[in-house]
């Protein structure tokens, strides 16, 4: 795989280039660039498989670079020093990123992930979600990328009623009645949706608090959601959940 590094810091480019020498995958570093203009020229000349892309550069951002290209036929791994809110935007949008200073193992893992993806995913769909999440950093409504075996969905977090664990997979139940099964576990989404009005009431259920219809004290405690689903509250979570309800 042909790789290009685009970063305005010469020290960072050298550090990444040195790390790539030990990459277990069959890769070739074909070019380095220090800004948007030289980055576009390098991409046009070398037709890379992967671009390691800095975000903040003197003549624009990595996002500006991508918007100037007619076609994105390569995998992107962002190299960023962004703060937490922006990092979460990458996670919601299913975009690969690595924080500075670059950790070798995380870089190898990201390259390995790209190496295994035989078909080019719809990167434009993911980037549109990322741009929306970054532009609306203060909003509680984020755009979440959900990938199934057949499709890629962009879902507003405000449209998620609940998430349900299913043997290492996660089912998403949406306001429009749609059910989406994705091959990531519930814990990943619990962490991702933390701070966005979601609460894990049971090892199998993560709920959007705004869609609670009522709480029933019978049968040990049950939450009834707006979609008429009845979900158990675990004994371990019951006390904290009831306190949370008092705060809503």
Angstrom distances, CA of residue 25 to CA of 32, 48, 114, 219, 242: 19, 15, 10, 54, 51
Tens digit of pLDDT for each residue in 80-134? 887 666 788 888 888 889 999 999 999 999 998 887 764 455 777 888 899 888 8
Angstrom distances, CA of residue 130 to CA of 5, 61, 103: 21, 14, 23
User: Does residue 108 sit in the same domain as residue 182?
Assistant: no
Nearest to 44 by CA among 79, 71, 9: 71
**Mean pLDDT across 62-81:** 91
pLDDT for position 121: 59
Tell me the pTM: 0.73
**CA dist., res. 62 & res. 56, Å (int):** 7
User: Does residue 101 sit in the same domain as residue 199?
Assistant: no
User: Does residue 148 sit in the same domain as residue 129?
Assistant: no
Other Cβ atoms closer than 10 A to 138: 6
User: Does residue 164 sit in the same domain as residue 107?
Assistant: no
Q: How many domains does the chain have?
A: 2
**Mean pLDDT across 177-205:** 95
State the chain's mean pLDDT as an integer: 90
Angstrom distances, CA of residue 114 to CA of 21, 68, 109, 133: 17, 23, 9, 23
**Structure tokens given for 103:** 């950790």
């Amino acid at each position: 795989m042909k790789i290009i590094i685009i970063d305005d810091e010469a020290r960072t480019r050298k550090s990444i280039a040195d790390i790539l020498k030990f990459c277990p995958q069959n890769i070739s570093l074909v070019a380095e660039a220090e800004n948007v203009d030289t980055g576009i020229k390098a991409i046009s000349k070398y037709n890379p498989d992967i671009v390691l892309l800095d975000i903040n550069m003197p003549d624009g951002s990595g996002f500006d670079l991508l918007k100037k290209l007619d076609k994105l036929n390569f995998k992107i791994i962002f190299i960023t020093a962004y703060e937490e809110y922006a990092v979460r935007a990458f996670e919601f949008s299913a975009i690969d990123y690595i924080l500075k200073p670059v950790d070798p193992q995380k870089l190898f893992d990201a390259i390995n992930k790209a190496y295994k993806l035989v078909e080019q995913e719809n990167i434009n769909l993911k980037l549109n979600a990322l741009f929306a999440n970054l532009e609306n950093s203060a909003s509680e409504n984020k755009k979440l990328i959900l990938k199934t075996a057949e499709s890629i969905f962009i879902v507003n977090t405000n449209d998620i009623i609940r998430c349900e664990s299913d043997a290492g997979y996660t089912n998403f139940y949406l306001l429009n009645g749609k059910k989406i099964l994705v091959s990531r576990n519930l814990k990943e989404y619990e962490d991702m949706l933390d701070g966005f009005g979601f609460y894990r009431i049971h090892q199998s259920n993560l709920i959007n608090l705004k869609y609670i219809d009522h709480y029933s004290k019978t049968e040990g405690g049950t939450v009834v959601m707006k979609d008429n689903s009845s979900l158990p509250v675990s004994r371990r979570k019951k006390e904290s959940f009831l306190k949370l309800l008092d705060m809503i």
